[in-house]
């Protein structure tokens, strides 16, 4: 499916797994070189949108991860937000 394909799902609404699967399929098509130049450009543009979608979904997931905090004796005592700067 390409951007010009009216049956192509909206990238902004795709779940991570679907976006990644389509991105992998696009990369495979481009690597094989079996598409016209115009189709290659459309596939590349859709691939860029899919990559951004995957990156955004991963960044959001990282922000939601919680780490288990441990007491002095090593027992779990609760959760705290993930530390680290997200770029």
Q: What is the structure's pLDDT at 31?
A: 95
Segment 63-87 mean pLDDT: 64
Q: What is the structure's pLDDT at 3?
A: 42
Name the residue with higher pLDDT: 7 or 11: 11
Q: How far apart are CA 37 and CA 11, in angstroms?
A: 22
Q: How far apart are CA 27 and CA 44, in angstroms?
A: 8
| Spatial CA neighbour of 86 closest among 55, 62, 64, 53 | 62
- The pLDDT of residue 4 is above 60: no
Confidence of residue 5 (pLDDT cuts 50, 70, 90): low
Structure token digits, residue 9: 């799902």
Domain borders along the chain are: 11-73
Architecture of the domain defined by 11-73: Orthogonal Bundle (1.10)
Read off the pLDDT of residues 25-72 as tens digits, 9 standing for 90 and up: 999 999 999 899 999 999 999 999 999 999 999 988 877 775 656 666
SS3 at position 29: helix
């Amino acid at each position: 499916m390409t951007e010009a394909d009216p049956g192509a799902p909206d990238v902004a609404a795709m779940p991570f797994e679907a976006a990644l699967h389509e991105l992998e399929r696009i990369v495979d098509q481009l690597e094989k070189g079996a598409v016209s130049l115009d189709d290659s450009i459309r596939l590349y543009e859709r691939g860029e949108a899919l990559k951004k979608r995957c990156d955004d979904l991963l960044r959001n997931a990282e922000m939601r991860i919680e780490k288990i905090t441990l007491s002095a004796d090593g027992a779990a005592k609760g959760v705290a937000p993930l530390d680290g700067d997200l770029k």
